[in-house]
A = this chain, B = another copy of it.
Amino acid sequence: MTIKINASTPYEVVIEKGALCRINDLLKDGQRVLVVSDSNVMPIYGNRFVGAEKLTLKAGEKHKNLKTIQLILKTLQRLGFTRSDTVVGLGGGVVGDMAAFASSIYMRGIRYVACPTSLLAMIDSSVGGKTGVDFLGSKNMVGSFYQPSLVICDTDCLKTLPEREIKNGMGEAVKYAVLTGDEEMLSDCLSADKVEAFIGKCVTAKKEIVEADEKDKGVRALLNLGHTFGHAIEKLSRFKIAHGVAVAMGIRVATKVAVGAKVATVENAEKIEALLDRYNMPKAVEYDKKDFIDAVWLDKKRTTDGINLVLPEKTGVCKTVYMTKQEVLKLI
């Protein structure tokens, strides 16, 4: 399946079993390629890229920083890469965010191709052009909007994915179910005959929002459902809780706040909770409320006085609500 994303620079998302086996055809000839991956993924899929340069990063969110970006930039410089060459990000969300960010600022932008290998990266982070790294303890605080030239999702990669990574992806998948109201999309979604359609549904949901608001000035905020609280949970767990799982936990907090703010009825909130339960998403961890709200207040959605929170009214209907720190503190 191929989905076209009509961003400022249009590109295609190829979702296909075995796509990495024909990667050398998918990447056009006549240009040099640097494959950026991490120590988990490069040993498994790196050899599919014939004749490409390779750069293996240390795996994990704690290496998602400007130091690693400089390593990628130095490698590109050392290899003499030019604007007519290509960087491939091969791996999960962390690798993709960094490879894409480095691509966006090397020579003010060279061609970037995303090859997501995790469920989370396939259904969410590889599409939409948000790139970045963590900075001084804040998630994705430094980055850019930069669209890939091509996204290639090989569903075969999901077979080698550890269980915790599947759960990580399912956290974001639940987000799409709550946003779209299409709970059915989740059921048995990773089975061989459903997985392509499932990834396609998530990508299509994201596509519609990104096409309407590429630079995140309005409706795109909805994609942050669960993220403002989720980023705080990730941070307080010292990144032991994976992003997608933290997002699911963040949806629980957002649902609680929605009830308190009379955005959602108790009944509708319970339906969302039930959906999170069905996919075994953990209950929101009880952090010290002061620590939690301070971590929330590092978010990019914050203005000087308050924060824009995405709250679910019910599955299929979410809205952005502006609240002060005191108001949020009362309701969490």
Residues of A within 8 A of B (CB): 8, 32, 66, 70, 73-74, 77, 80, 82-85, 104-109, 130-132, 135-136, 138, 140-145, 215-216, 300, 302-304
Known contacts: A85-B304, A138-B77. The answer to whether A108 contacts B145 by CB under 8 A is: yes
Query: In the docked arrangement, what's the CA distance between A141 and B76, Å?
Result: 11
What are the residues of chain B within 8 A of A83 when measuring CB–CB? 300, 303
Query: In the docked arrangement, what's the CA distance between A138 and B82, Å?
Result: 13
Question: Residue of B at shortest CB range from A76?
Answer: B141
What are the residues of chain B within 8 A of A145 when measuring CB–CB? 108-109
Assess whether B142 is in contact with A105, with CB atoms less than 8 Å apart. Answer: yes
Choose one: B142, B144, B303; the contact of A84 (CB below 8 Å): B303
Choose one: B8, B66, B73; the contact of A8 (CB below 8 Å): B8
Contacts A/B (CB < 8 Å), 24 sampled: A8-B8, A32-B304, A66-B66, A73-B135, A73-B141, A77-B136, A77-B138, A77-B141, A80-B304, A82-B302, A82-B303, A83-B300, A83-B303, A84-B303, A85-B304, A105-B105, A105-B142, A107-B141, A107-B142, A108-B131, A108-B143, A108-B145, A109-B215, A144-B144
Q: How many copies are assembled?
A: 2
Overall SS of chain A's interface: mixed
What are the residues of chain B within 8 A of A142 when measuring CB–CB? 73, 105-107
Query: In the docked arrangement, what's the CA distance between A207 and B216, Å?
Result: 27
What's the least CB distance linking A66 to chain B, in Å? 7
Choose one: B77, B85, B144; the contact of A104 (CB below 8 Å): B144
Query: In the docked arrangement, what's the CA distance between A106 and B8, Å?
Result: 21
